[in-house]
Amino acid sequence: MAEGTAGLERRGAEPRVAAPSSLLPEVVAAPVPEAAITGGTAPGRRQSRRSRLFTLAVLAPVAVVGLFPFYWMVTTALTPRAAAIRVPPTLVPLDATLDNLVALFAQAPILLWAFNSLVIAAAIMVGHVVFDSMAGYAFARKRFPGKRLFFTLIVSSLMIPVHVTLVPRFILVTNLGLDDHLLGVIAPSIADVFGIFLMRQFMQSLPAELEEAARVDGASEWQVFWRIVLPLSMPAVATVAIFSFVGAWNAFLWPLIVLSDRALLTLPVGVALLQQEFSSNIGLQMAGALVGAVPMIVLFLLFQRHFLEGVRVGALKG
């Protein structure tokens, strides 16, 4: 069934530049089979039972090792304080308790941190969606002198590690009066290369007729973009939005530098602070890590395809 056509779209799977099949607008590609979205169709031939068993015997333990830190995070967060330092360690928390979580909410402004993280992540997400898609649209559709130069500059900025710009950015943000302010975290992340790249790639694949029709009907440039192109680009917008949100939520170094007021911290920075403030209370630290990690895990489980697709187009490192 899908095997025949999928082979065609799978060619040229070079990183970064390939338009992912699931991101092609529906006009171009009919609904893509689930397998193609997650990276290709099953090979034609079946595995023998023995090699299947061998495969699973390797893959399953690796998954257990990979997921173990989460298990240990949850277990420790639910273990009473005294039991956490028992020898031998308790692998299954039979005496599970919510004490650590209760203590966490009582002794640390964890809800405030979650709120700050949410504000920052949402603002950066909106910034990326609006500004990245605007630039992506111009690069995909508009002709103007300097376009190539601009694009080359943006792509070449991928070579610049953020760490090189930390000090000047901090001086800049301080001079703007935005240090120790959520805006100081948001402003330097309000657009990014990946989103521009992805939006451009996607918009190039859209048929131009709709835009021309709208222009004939008297729509302004902005209306064409906002009413026609952006709604058609929703699959790409979704990928950009999710990656921006998760990236901003998990960001650590820049918020650590900019924010110092305890009430203004984000979850990763706040939880890292917990290990200094409550260095002997491991259950409380793990409870904090749990509160920070769970929202992203839920997001991942809800939007799995977008994550894997985003990585394929070269979303981020590590």
Partner 1 sequence: MTASPAVSGIAGRVRRFRSRYSAGYLFVAPSMLFFLVFIFVPLGWSFLLSFQEFGFRTSTWVGLDNYIALVQDPIFRQSAVNTVIYSVFTVAVWVVIAMVLATLIHPLPPRLRTFFRAAYYLPAVTSAVFIALVWKWILNANPWGLANHVLSLFGAGPVGFISDPSPFAGASVALWSVILSSVLTIPAVGVVLYSAALAGIPQELYEAAETEGAGALAKFRYITVPLLKPITLYVAIIYTIAAFEVFERVYVMTGGGPGYATNTIVYSIWRTGFRFGDYGLASAQAFLLFVVIATISVLQFRALRSDVQY
Cβ density class 53-66: b for 16+ within 10 Å, e for less: eeeeeeeeeeeeee
Among positions 222-241, residues that touch partner 1 (CB under 8 A) are 225
Nearer to partner 1, 30 or 65 (CB): 65
Part of the chain binding partner 1 (CB under 8 A), chosen from 22-30, 104-112, 167-175, 201-209: 167-175
Is 126 an interacting residue with respect to partner 1 (CB under 8 A)?
Answer: no
Q: How far apart are CA 170 and CA 188, in angstroms?
A: 10
Is 215 an interacting residue with respect to partner 1 (CB under 8 A)?
Answer: no
Nearer to partner 1, 30 or 149 (CB): 149
Secondary structure element (H or E) that encloses residue 18, with its range:
none
Residue 20 vs residues 9, 41, 45, 174, 185: alpha-carbon distances, Å: 9, 14, 25, 41, 31
Is 40 an interacting residue with respect to partner 1 (CB under 8 A)?
Answer: yes
Nearer to partner 1, 66 or 106 (CB): 66
Sign of CA dihedral 85, 90, 94, 97: positive
- Closest approach of partner 1 to the CB of residue 65, in Å: 6
DSSP state of 44: S
Instruction: Give every CB contact of residue 278 below 8 A, 6+ residues apart in sequence.
Output: 107, 284, 285
- Closest approach of partner 1 to the CB of residue 277, in Å: 13
Count of residues interacting with partner 1 (CB under 8 A):
112
DSSP state of 187: G
Asked whether 117 and 251 are in contact (CB, 8 A), the reply is: no
Q: How far apart are CA 17 and CA 38, in angstroms?
A: 17
Among positions 58-97, residues that touch partner 1 (CB under 8 A) are 58-59, 62-63, 65-67, 69-70, 72-73, 76, 84-89
Nearer to partner 1, 27 or 35 (CB): 35
Q: Of residues 27, 28, 47, 107, which one binds partner 1 by CB under 8 A?
A: 47
Is 111 an interacting residue with respect to partner 1 (CB under 8 A)?
Answer: no
Nearer to partner 1, 118 or 190 (CB): 190
Nearer to partner 1, 44 or 209 (CB): 44
Asked whether 120 and 185 are in contact (CB, 8 A), the reply is: yes
Among positions 138-157, residues that touch partner 1 (CB under 8 A) are 138-139, 142-145, 147, 150, 153-154, 157
Nearer to partner 1, 115 or 170 (CB): 170
